Amino acid sequence: MAYRVEHDSMGDIQVEDSRYWGSQTQRSLENFPIGGERFSDDFIRAYGCLKKACVLANAPSAVWKKEKLEALLAACDEVIAGKLKEHFPLVVWQTGSGTQTNMNLNEVIANRAAELLGGKKGQKELVHPNDDVNRSQSSNDTFPAAMHIAAVSMVRDRLLPAVELLASELEAKARIWARLIKVGRTHLQDAVPLSLGQEFSAYVAQLRQAARRIDLAAEELLELPIGGTAVGTGLNAPAGFDDAVCGELEKITGERYTSAPNKFALLAAHDGMAGLSGALSTLAAALMKIANDIRWLGSGPRCGIGELILPENEPGSSIMPGKVNPTQNEALTMVCAQVMGNHSTVAFACSQGNFELNVFKPVIIHNLLQSIRLLSDGMESFRLRCVAGIDVNREKLAEYLERTLMVVTALNPHIGYDKSAAIAKKAYTENITLKEAGISLGFLSSEEYDRWVVPERMV
């Protein structure tokens, strides 16, 4: 295996010659053999978009020749396209500012650009990772800017569409089942009737409300700290650099990014990330409710509630023949548990800014992007492999509706709460119908019961 020698302020270090990274990436690889969790392709792509925007914003004031500018842009484009993803090996568990990942980007772009210019990797006189690629920047403003770009992109491109697809599937079921009357349940006990469509309409409302919260939280992340450099003052960045970068990012990503009016806040704290993570946790709470309700309503097939018939996707037991389990619901609820746990980590990490810098940035963005990815994938799988194939056990709905005691509530306006309660208790203890109990107690006639207790009018 061939090696080359790279040099930085710490001295010389050997790097595999096939790798585009340089000395600082290599040092991080050797100093942080922790966990193995790497930054996602989505994050590296977002960072590549930012680096390209910075190159374009720097172009007017830099002394780059046309060929050098074109090589830098071409290298950035390869990063964005994922062509160089094997050259971003660093783990999340590194410096809390993300400095080494910023340098990983700088080194890969510099070395690839040097190659495109006809040189070799490590020829800093051709393209320098700090002086050229990191020009007018610091890890302290580029890393959080990339965090924002990655989060906004994944929310808009993956998460919100997945939420709407699932909500629309549930809404279609709600329309189809609008006239199917069933027993309601509160406190895990029988309650007054509603339609199955009304029950499912609650799920639709939950999801769309969660989507609105997420969209609003993502909107806050369109403000970027780029141009703040090390502590927010903008040292070494030319006037207008921040706005120029945001303008170029809009062309690259289609999102209207703006320069944050107070960059100190976005380097030292990540309240916007905490807000988005909280909105994701709220979505997870809604999905947990929906998935649990559906698997309870589909429990059985003979000894559970059994109102819904869930798709049978695979055998459910290695010992019990014929058993089929609500596995899509289980997968989605595990996703929700992970997202809630991720939010606890993000919220704590966001609280840990000291003075001018929060140094928990890598774990914040790692957990946030994992949550978005898991929720997006989990909802899509749940939609396709569970919700789309749900059917109704109409016989069970009718059976429960006939047996429930809580339709007695319809008698309250006619005979009062106390007499209605007496009817319910007598029917339950003597295992007779409400109608029989009411007539036996002399509180109403058969005709009055039939006129007053009509489940279809209770919904």
Residue 262: the pLDDT is: 98
104 is in an annotated binding site: no
Is 324 within any annotated ligand binding site? yes
pTM above 0.85, yes or no: yes
Beta-bridged to residue 6, according to DSSP, are 13
- Backbone φ and ψ for 190, nearest 5 degrees, come out as -60, 140
User: What are the helix (H) ranges across 36-159?
Assistant: 41-58, 66-80, 99-116, 139-154
To the query of whether residue 343 is one of the catalytic residues in this protein, the response is no
Residue 423 has pLDDT above 90, yes or no: yes
For the segment 87-119, what is each residue's pLDDT rounded down to a tens digit? 999 999 999 999 999 999 999 999 999 999 999
At residue 399, the pLDDT reads 95
Any idea which of 147-151, 306-310, 401-405 has the lowest mean pLDDT?
401-405
Q: How far apart are CA 213 and CA 7, in angstroms?
A: 48
Cβ-Cβ contacts under 8 Å for 405 (sequence gap 6 or more): 190, 424, 427, 428, 434
The neighbouring-strand residues paired with 354 are 357
What is the rounded distance in angstroms from the CA atom of residue 413 to the CA atom of residue 436? 19
DSSP 322-367: T----HHHHHHHHHHHHHHHHHHHHHHHHTT-BTTB-S-HHHHHHH
Instruction: Locate all alpha helices (DSSP H) within 155-270, ordered by sequence.
Output: 160-176, 196-220, 241-253, 263-268
d(CA 297, CA 300): 9
Please indicate if the annotation marks 8 as binding a ligand.
no
Would you say residue 1 has pLDDT above 90? Answer: no
Are the C-beta atoms of residues 232 and 267 closer than 8 Å to each other? yes
Q: What is the mean pLDDT of residues 223-236?
A: 98
Mean pLDDT of 176-192: 97
Lowest mean pLDDT segment, chosen from 339-343, 377-381, 398-402: 398-402
Q: What percent of the chain has pLDDT over 90?
A: 99
Which residues lie below 8 Å from residue 239, measured CB to CB, with a gap of 6+? none
* Mean predicted lDDT score pLDDT of the chain: 97
What's residue 348's pLDDT? 98
Is the pLDDT reported for residue 404 higher than 90? yes
Q: What is the pLDDT of residues 376-397, one digit of tens each?
A: 999 999 999 999 999 999 999 9
Q: How far is CA 407 from the centre of its chain?
A: 41
186 annotated among ligand-binding-site residues: yes
| Residue 12 CA: distances (Å) to CA of 4, 24, 106, 210, 415 | 10, 10, 18, 52, 92
- The identity of residue 325, as a single letter, is N
Give the whole-angstrom CA distance, residue 129 versus residue 132: 6
Catalytic residue among 18, 168, 317, 446: 317
Please answer whether residues 98 and 362 qualify as being in contact, where contact means their C-beta atoms are separated by less than 8 angstroms: yes
155 is in an annotated binding site: no
Which residue's structure tokens are 């062309």? Answer: 251
Taking residues 75-98, report their average pLDDT: 98
Query: Strands, E, within 247-304: which ranges?
Result: 258-259
Establish whether 409 is an annotated binding residue.
Answer: no
Q: What percentage of the chain reaches a pLDDT higher than 70?
A: 100
Q: Which residue shows structure tokens 């919904």?
A: 459
Helices (H) and strands (E) in the chain — how many of each? 17, 8
Kindly list the structural domains of the chain, giving each domain's residue range(s) and its CATH number in brackets, ordered by start: 3-135 (1.10.275.10), 141-226+261-395 (1.20.200.10), 405-457 (1.10.40.30)
pLDDT band at 63 (very low <50, low <70, confident <90, very high): confident
Look at residue 188 and tell me whether its pLDDT is greater than 90. yes
Exposure string of 164-191, with b = 16+ CB inside 10 Å and e = fewer, is eebbebbbebbeebeebbbbbbeeeebe
- Is pLDDT above 90 for 131? yes
Asked if 153 is an active-site residue, the reply is: no
pLDDT for the residue numbered 372: 98
Q: Please tell me the predicted confidence (pLDDT) of residue 210.
A: 98
Q: Tell me if 128 is assigned to a ligand binding site.
A: yes
